[in-house]
Amino acid sequence: MSLSATGLPGRILLVGAGNMGGAMLERWVAAGIAPDAITVLDPGTPRLPADVRHVVALPEDYTPDTLVLAIKPQQLDAFVASTPGLAPRLLVSILAGVEETSLATRFPGVGVIVRAMPNLPVSIGKGVVALHGGAEDSEAVRAVETLMQPLGLVEWIGEEALFDAVTALSGCGPAFVFRFAEALAEAGVALGLPADQADRLARATLEGAGIMAAAARETPATLADRVASPGGSTREGLNVLDAGDVLKVLMRATLAASAKRNAEMAAAAR
């Protein structure tokens, strides 16, 4: 079994079409990957793009070129038991905490294994996808990049041991940003703004600031200082956030907790 000569991922089996799997699928089809080359294995009734094949059990005569695992880590062993001998040319796993050695043990005939960690903004093509593995196979690398580039920023990670940190930062990060948006809006309400108006203002503020940060050459610290005039209201607010590095300490503890949980899941999957 081989990938196409152009490095495209050939016949794709997507296992799981929930929030993340479904978001990736939508972007693939929008980017021009042929929907009739994609089969989705999902026991539910996911909403799929036209011409994408949906099955609840893998046909005996079907072997994909590329297998994408987008199920929950605790569902992995049940999937392996239901598809003995499945040996695609390329396996891409977005299972948090499941290491390449654990995947290789469960899929002994697979050609190349690549771990991927996308985050939810891939649904609008503005996500982050961290990748590791398969570097010795340039064809597999091209195939993975064909799948991931429509999703947003793609970063290859040099050491698999850093995947727990990547998952905590960019994989879990959108949830932390959403929580910050909620807190920002609630702080506005505490100052007397109507809740719906504070919510709109907070969302728009994060959107504009995020776009500006992504486009800027300056560091976020420099951008913050550009907003804050000496002795002004922004500086007074920053003084609260900067006192004792309270925000940085909080974020370090937040990411450390997420990374620790990733490590625990990896240990359970071994």
In degrees and rounded to multiples of 5, residue 113 shows phi and psi of -115, 130
Amino acid at site 195: A
Query: Higher pLDDT residue, 3 or 184?
Result: 184
Give the number of other CB atoms < 10 A from CB of residue 94.
20
- 229-238 confidence digits (pLDDT tens): 999 999 999 9
pTM (2 d.p.): 0.87
Q: Do 141 and 147 contact (CB within 8 A), yes or no?
A: no
How far is the CA of 23 from the CAs of 12, 49, 57, 127, in angstroms?
15, 11, 22, 10
The reported pLDDT for the residue numbered 60 is 85
DSSP one-letter code for 149: G
Domains of the chain: 12-157 (3.40.50.720), 173-265 (1.10.3730.10)
DSSP 246-266: HHHHHHHHHHHHHHHHHHHHH
How large is the average pLDDT for residues 75-96?
93
Task: Give residue 2's pLDDT.
Answer: 43
User: How high is the pLDDT of residue 266?
Assistant: 83
Count Cβ atoms within 10 A of the Cβ of residue 162 and give its class: 0-12 exposed, 13-18 middle, 19 or more buried: middle
